[in-house]
Amino acid sequence: AQIPFIVEELRRNPFSRRAVIDIRDWKMDSQSEDPACLQHIQYFIRDNKLHCKVLFRSNDACKATFMNAFALIMLQKRIADELNIEVGTYTHRANSFHCYEKDFGMLEGYVHRICGDTELTYDYVGEWDELMEEAKPMIAEKVQTLKNNCMGRE
């Protein structure tokens, strides 16, 4: 129900600073062993482009950030399409941006590519479709697990 609010708020006032989605439910999170990492999403229209800023309380730099950013950029695109405007910037912030020791090699590879001469900008449409199709069953399973945890079933 929050996405329709975002669209209507930005249609009502394209300069609004109120197009915010708060994810955290402290009552639920305090009872969960796996509380939401994503805390907050805010959308802005500036220069006829939809900009998005997200805040995570905790984010695994090696194993989660890519898919988190991908999904949130796709949501940003969906909202921009509904508003009939272009996608603007995406800002990804994490209060605890971390890498587990077992993934240090992967992190070194990321750093090597960043410091190298390779292109770091990706066109997610088309290029990543196959990866997303492969990930959908795992995503659906995780969603169901989280729902079951919320309802006390598992």
Question: Partners of 43 in the beta sheet?
Answer: 52
Torsion angle of C-alpha atoms 131, 140, 97, 49, degrees rounded to 10: 70
What's 120's DSSP letter?
A: -
In the annotation, is 37 catalytic?
Answer: yes
18 with 43: CB under 8 angstroms? no
Of 37, 52, 62, 150, the catalytic one is 37
Can you read off the two tokens belonging to residue 25?
């439910």
Known catalytic residues are 37
